[in-house]
Amino acid sequence: MWIARKLAGKRESRQWKWGVRMAVVLVFVLIPTWDMILGRVYLNHLCSTEAGVKVYQTVELPAEYWDKEGRPRFMNARGVINMVMLGDRFKWHQVREPYINGLIKIDKRRWQLEDITTQKALGEKVDFVRYFGWLNRFSPAPNVSESCPDIEIKQEKSILHGIFKPATSIR
């Protein structure tokens, strides 16, 4: 408040004094939180423009992987894959790489579903993780973060429906 009083000085206008005081208070509030605001805005931008699913190749699976309505048995109602049912042919692996590593810290996460027999990526889902601001880095709390909202389950469901298809012919 001392700074606000000095900046407001001996001005006669009450509005001027209150305006200066409010500006000083606003600056002191934003100093510890500006990177949180900027980080969240940029995370939302990345989630809407770069996050998502890419399918590189489709795989036909025989009838035992599908129920009578054509829904996959290897996926539960929430869209989470059951890797045990798919067997040893496919595996998920995650690649995490720093996207921005400064005052704002954002990582890019890519999950790839790989066909082990061909060693090719069948598809991938991309997500971003933002770690909370610089003030949190000095706190004893663990790395607190947030990622693209509600994207995890939607992406997993989407990538699985894009990659796996019922076999059209009997071999």
Q: What percent of the chain has pLDDT over 70?
A: 81
Structure confidence at residue 9 as a pLDDT band (50, 70, 90):
low
Does the reported pTM lie above 0.75? Answer: no
Tokens of 129: 């993780």
pLDDT, residue 109, reads 92
Does residue 171 carry a pLDDT above 80? no
- Residue environment code for 37-60, b if the CB has 16+ CB neighbours within 10 A, otherwise e: eebeebbeebbeeebbbebeeebe
Spatial neighbors of 150 by CB under 8 A, at least 6 apart, are: none
What tens digit of pLDDT does each residue of 71-101 get?
888 888 777 788 888 888 899 889 999 998 8
What tens digit of pLDDT does each residue of 40-76 get?
899 999 999 999 889 999 999 888 889 888 888 888 8
- Residue environment code for 96-119, b if the CB has 16+ CB neighbours within 10 A, otherwise e: eeebbeeebbbbbbebbbbeeeee
pLDDT, residue 3, reads 58
pLDDT, residue 115, reads 92
